[in-house]
Amino acid sequence: MKAIHLLTCTTLALAAAGAQADQSYTFDTGAQGVTVTDGGSATWQAGGYLSITDVSDADMLLHLPATALGDWSSYLGGSFSFDARNLNNESPDWAPFGELTLTGSAGSVMLDIVAANQPPADGSWHRYAVALDNATWGGNLAAVLANVTDVTLKVEFHAGVTEVAGIDNIAVTAVPEPQSAWMMAAGLAALCAGASALSGKRQGLVRRSRQG
């Protein structure tokens, strides 16, 4: 029983440790390590978002921080999403807006995850999302996710050098655990606790028996 108890609890602990945490960039108190290169200049706004101003003919590229990179295998089947707002009501006439590029040791994959004419000049926030799966990206996605070295999002939405883009709530989400898996994990945790209690009780009985 003791051996089974140790094996079960160890398995449960390893399963919990192996779960990939979701990434969330809400910019409530700062830029959270997110940077912008090429044609843009990013400013953190106290309202809890980034404003990215076009400063040259180069496309504005947003980069996730280096600390967010590495093994993204657990995100296969998950999703990438972000919110955007047209802050100065410029015409959204630059189609590459929303190009997401994932670069890794196995190469790069790129997908334009946003439809044309976005974000609209309506003063509102809009959410854009894409599944991180082979059906959407192609068969090389899993190999790239095994060791991600760069993640860029193109936020240039206007053909001129005048637009200001608002970016918020960037999220990278792993596959949700099925309800049954959570129930099984809870059951295993209860089993571990019960086995520990039973082991302690037996040890107490053995001590009393020897003392008698």
User: Which position has the token pair 């193109």?
Assistant: 154
Strands 40-45 and 107-112: unpaired
Distance in angstroms (rounded) separating the CA atoms of residues 79 and 171: 8
Q: How confident is the model at residue 17 (pLDDT cuts 50, 70, 90)?
A: very low
Between 11 and 129, where is the model more confident? 129
pLDDT at position 56 over 90: yes
Query: Is 131 inside any structural domain?
Result: yes
Q: How many domains does the chain have?
A: 1
Average pLDDT, the chain: 84
What pLDDT is stored for residue 191 in this prediction? 47
Question: Across 2-11, 62-71, 184-193, which has the greatest mean pLDDT?
Answer: 62-71
Whether 125 and 168 have beta carbons less than 8 Å apart is answered as yes
Query: Is 114 inside any structural domain?
Result: yes
What pLDDT is stored for residue 196 in this prediction? 54
What pLDDT is stored for residue 95 in this prediction? 96
Distance in angstroms (rounded) separating the CA atoms of residues 187 and 211: 36
pLDDT at position 32 over 50: yes
What pLDDT is stored for residue 175 in this prediction? 86
Two tokens at 113?
């995850």
Query: Is 165 inside any structural domain?
Result: yes
Query: Is 7 inside any structural domain?
Result: no
Distance in angstroms (rounded) separating the CA atoms of residues 94 and 174: 30
Query: Is 3 inside any structural domain?
Result: no
Query: Is 11 inside any structural domain?
Result: no
Query: Is 204 inside any structural domain?
Result: no
Q: Poorest-confidence range of 9-18, 72-81, 101-110, 121-130? A: 9-18
Range of the domain at 162: 19-198
Distance in angstroms (rounded) separating the CA atoms of residues 11 and 184: 12
65-118: per-residue pLDDT in tens? 999 999 999 999 999 999 999 999 999 999 999 999 999 999 999 999 999 999
Phi and psi dihedrals of 71, rounded to 5? -80, 110
CATH number where 189 lies: 2.60.120.260
Q: What's at 152, amino acid-wise?
A: T
Query: Is 4 inside any structural domain?
Result: no
pLDDT at position 61 over 60: yes
What pLDDT is stored for residue 144 in this prediction? 99
Q: 86-115 burial, b for 16+ CB within 10 Å, e for fewer?
A: bbeebebebbebbbbebbbebeebebebbe
What pLDDT is stored for residue 203 in this prediction? 54
User: Which position has the token pair 């090389």?
Assistant: 140
How would you classify residue 174: left for phi > 0, otherwise alpha for psi between -120 and 50, otherwise beta? beta
Q: How confident is the model at residue 178 (pLDDT cuts 50, 70, 90)?
A: low
Q: Within 10 Å of residue 43's Cβ, how many Cβ atoms?
A: 12
What pLDDT is stored for residue 38 in this prediction? 87
